[in-house]
Amino acid sequence: MDVPQTRLVTTAGYDPVQPDEMKLSVGDVVVVLHSYDDGWIYGRNLSTSAMGLVPRNFLKSEAPAAFTQPSNSPKPTSSPSPTANSPSSPVNVKIPNRIASMDLSAAGITISNGSPPATVSSSPTNTRKVPMKTDGPTSVKPAEPVTAEEAKKKLQMAKAWRTQRAPVPANIGAVKIMVVGDSGIGKTALIHSLISLTSPNPTKPPILSPTTSLHSIPTSTIPPTELRYHEDPQNLTFIDTPGYGTSIDAYTIMKPTIDHITQQFQQTSSCFSQSINPTQLTKFLSTGAGAHTHVDICLYGILHRVTPVDVEYMKRISTITNLVPVLLKCDTLSAQEIYRLKTDLLDATSRAQIELYKFGLSHGECLALAKARVGGAIPFAISSIGVIDGGNGVGNGVGGVDETEEMGFNLFYGHLEDLRRKGAEKFVGWRGGGRK
């Protein structure tokens, strides 16, 4: 006789970030072994036999009790994993201390460590920190069209998780952001807007005269009263770059920008043995402790249309850092023009096979949102009116669309951990290609 079990159906794909998490694909049925008060559950995926932690809001409704595990299911990949293929067969697994108090009898599992189960406290000190979602492909099959409603729901769910677990500005660590694009499109003003969003004492960066040099603008998200002993008070650095319109040959402008990124790579690479494990190197460089001087994020500004030079520039940059496109001076465009430009940019980068950082969404989901005129996804629309007002998202232009605050939150709080990890992976890939 089957033991009653709580079974949930996966409504959105989830890619694990930590080793103890479990991959979910749409339609997977999960047996709930334990629920945590911070919104995570520990369960078994009956479609893959894997076991691990997953966010509860990616699951809903009760699955049919008659569900049986497919006979051709792959071996479990998550830790801990069962030693038998049948979900009803008793197995012994080693349970991490933080989940040792769960009742596993419903799944036919016994604890093998022989010690009394530990108590999982519901206090904030024992609450699991939710890792940021990765920017990899979702579990939706390419053949199935993505609807705007599905993409909007996923965007809202992800935003809810980020908002609940966002760090305070003083704790984001060291961040370096490069702003790139044509001349006279408002790159320096955008930097001022982002400084206003994050700095306790914002100062307006200088307006640069046309030049082929890069300009570094250090600032801080840490109030002076919260500085730790020996902590660098300027943890946030913006790099303002010249526009390609200042030169007849656009490559003469691209080269210093690309060289700056690769020079930071070369400095870091010289500090490590070539035989170091790539996974260990990625983990070391993913921290916000300022262990390197890499560019974490590149904001690429577009004004009114996507040019061939923009496509070529973005293609070169996207291989060595996280590329986030932004549409500048959107107060001069109607809402229809803004979302058409979003669609055009997504189409152009897809055709050129340019990798964009999409903040947890797929290309199809970003495109569906743009076509449905739903904001909150790349490319972010930035109003110069909002920039002038300090990035407060006034959006009083023609189209009334300004996503400055949305972009700032995603960059500095919502996805910063994943941005660092992706940036470290790009460095490891660059280094593995023999460019050292």
CA 409 to each of CA 90, 112, 122, 151, 394: distance values in angstroms, whole numbers, following the listed order: 46, 44, 28, 19, 16
pTM of the model: 0.65
Q: Give residue 89's pLDDT.
A: 41
Structural domain contains residue 360:
yes
Closest CA to 215 of 263, 180, 250, 174: 180
Which range, of 6-15, 81-90, 154-163, 308-317, averages the lowest pLDDT?
81-90
Structural domain contains residue 139:
no
The verdict on 166 and 295 lying in the same domain is yes
Structural domain contains residue 165:
yes
Task: Compute the Cα dihedral for 327, 331, 334, 335 and give only its sign.
Answer: positive
Distance in angstroms (rounded) separating the CA atoms of residues 388 and 396: 11
The verdict on 212 and 300 lying in the same domain is yes
Which range, of 247-251, 309-313, 344-348, 378-382, averages the lowest pLDDT?
247-251
The verdict on 118 and 157 lying in the same domain is no
The verdict on 167 and 258 lying in the same domain is yes
The verdict on 33 and 71 lying in the same domain is yes
The verdict on 169 and 97 lying in the same domain is no
Tens-digit pLDDT profile for residues 149-171: 888 888 888 777 777 777 777 77
Tens-digit pLDDT profile for residues 324-350: 999 999 989 999 999 999 999 999 999
What is the average per-residue pLDDT within 10-30? 84
Q: Give residue 176's pLDDT.
A: 92
User: Is residue 252 very low, low, confident or very high in pLDDT (cuts 50, 70, 90)?
Assistant: confident
Q: For the chain, give the percent of residues with pLDDT over 90.
A: 27
CATH code, domain carrying 306 = 3.40.50.300
**Which of the given ranges, 88-97, 198-207, 281-290, 393-402, has the highest pLDDT on average?**
281-290
Structural domain contains residue 30:
yes
Q: Give residue 73's pLDDT.
A: 43
pLDDT of 205 > 80? The answer is no
The DSSP bridge pattern shows strands 322-327 and 91-93 to be: unpaired
Q: Give residue 327's pLDDT.
A: 95
Distance in angstroms (rounded) separating the CA atoms of residues 397 and 140: 37
Structural domain contains residue 1:
no
- End position of a domain, from candidates 126, 159, 183: 126
HEC assignment per residue over the chain: CCCCCCEEEECCCECCCCCCECCECCCCEEEEEEECCCCEEEEEECCCCCEEEEEHHHEEEECCCCCCCCCCCCCCCCCCCCCCCCCCCCEEECCCHHHCCCCCHHHCEEECCCCCCCCCCCCHHHCCCCCCCCCCCCCCCCCCCCCHHHHHHHHHHHHHHHHHCCCCHHHCCCEEEEEEECCCCCHHHHHHHHHHHHCCCCCCCCCCCCCCCCEEEEECCCCHHHCCCCCCCCCEEEEECCCHHHCCCCHHHHHHHHHHHHHHHHHHHCCCCCCCCHHHHHHHHCCCCCCCCCCCEEEEEECCCCCHHHHHHHHHHHCCCEEEEEECCHHHCCHHHHHHHHHHHHHHHHHCCCCCCCCCCCHHHHHHHHHCCCCCCCCEECCHHHHHCCCCCCCCCCCCCCCHHHHHHHHHHHCHHHHHHHHHHHHHHHHHCCCC
Which residue range is the domain that position 72 belongs to? 7-126
351 CB-near residues (< 8 Å, 6+ apart): none
Q: Give residue 233's pLDDT.
A: 77
Structural domain contains residue 138:
no
What is the average per-residue pLDDT within 406-413? 89
The verdict on 88 and 45 lying in the same domain is yes
Which range, of 102-116, 249-263, 321-335, averages the lowest pLDDT?
102-116
The verdict on 164 and 207 lying in the same domain is yes
Structural domain contains residue 320:
yes
pLDDT of 103 > 50? The answer is no
pLDDT of 110 > 50? The answer is no
Angle, CA of 191, 377 and 200, to the nearest 5° = 35
Distance in angstroms (rounded) separating the CA atoms of residues 303 and 122: 50
Domain total of the chain: 2
Q: For the chain, give the percent of residues with pLDDT over 70.
A: 70
Q: Give residue 348's pLDDT.
A: 94
- End position of a domain, from candidates 96, 126, 156: 126
What is the average per-residue pLDDT within 190-205? 75
Q: Give residue 32's pLDDT.
A: 87
**Which of the given ranges, 68-77, 90-99, 172-181, 222-231, has the highest pLDDT on average?**
172-181
Averaged pLDDT of the chain: 75
pLDDT of 321 > 90? The answer is yes
The verdict on 116 and 162 lying in the same domain is no
Q: Give residue 118's pLDDT.
A: 36
Q: Give residue 315's pLDDT.
A: 94
The verdict on 65 and 211 lying in the same domain is no
Which residues are registered as beta bridge partners of 181? 301
The verdict on 74 and 153 lying in the same domain is no
Structural domain contains residue 142:
no
- End position of a domain, from candidates 64, 96, 126: 126
The structure tokens listed for 180 are: 């790139």
The verdict on 163 and 81 lying in the same domain is no
